[in-house]
Amino acid sequence: MTKRGYHHGNLRQALVDAALKLIEEKGPTGFALSEAAKNAGVTPAAVYRHFEGREDLIIEAALQGHAIFADRMEAAFNNGQPTALEAFSATGRAYLDFARRHPGHYMAMFESGVSSQATPELAAAVARSSGVLERAAAALSEHIAPEKRPPPSMFSAHIWAMSHGVVELYARGRPGGRAPFPPEDLLETGIGIYLRGLGLLPPDT
């Protein structure tokens, strides 16, 4: 049997890739470390040369996920161009797209029970990815009168919660989760209602 991890010259990444597939299939707590080793083509003992245990492996998957996620969010935000409103809306769409394209990473990041402060590296990656949405919220909230302006962290947390809810309920293809409308439409209209409440959209938009 070919030792795929060694064959590719990067056993650590081979184990992360194996774990991501298992997370997609069984959830972040539904697989054993020995399964990741088997799928990577190595013995369980070889895993411990790179990871202390399953949680350490999941942390690495989450770390890589947040890096991809932040890149996607920053590209969508595009430094607030062409307008703060369009850039903000683009970050919501990027959230859904990431969850669809990288389900293993998404589950490692948000459904594994691993603390966002588990390691300094993970804390920094989480701060970077969440910071993009907060910057987008700050840019958009500049159009709100100061006395009515919510803190950017609260503004972005509301939108993050809405995006996460749409992903969990309707964008993951789970049984019983078929949406009456496309997830993108649900999120866009939900954000629209929220922004109207803040006075950032006219009532008929």
Q: Please tell me the pTM assigned to this model.
A: 0.84
pLDDT, residue 67, reads: 94
CATH of the domain at 174: 1.10.357.10
Domain limit, last residue, from 9, 25, 51: 51
Tally of domains within the chain: 2
Residue 73 shares a structural domain with residue 156: yes
pLDDT < 50: residue spans in the chain: 1-8, 175-176, 205
CA-based nearest residue to 93, from 158, 185, 197:
185
pLDDT, residue 196, reads: 86
Distances (CA, A) of 151 to 84, 91, 195: 16, 18, 14
At residue 114, the 3 state secondary structure works out as coil
Spatial distance between the Cα atoms of 161 and 169, rounded to a whole number of angstroms: 12
Residue 39 shares a structural domain with residue 68: no
* Host domain of residue 153: 54-197
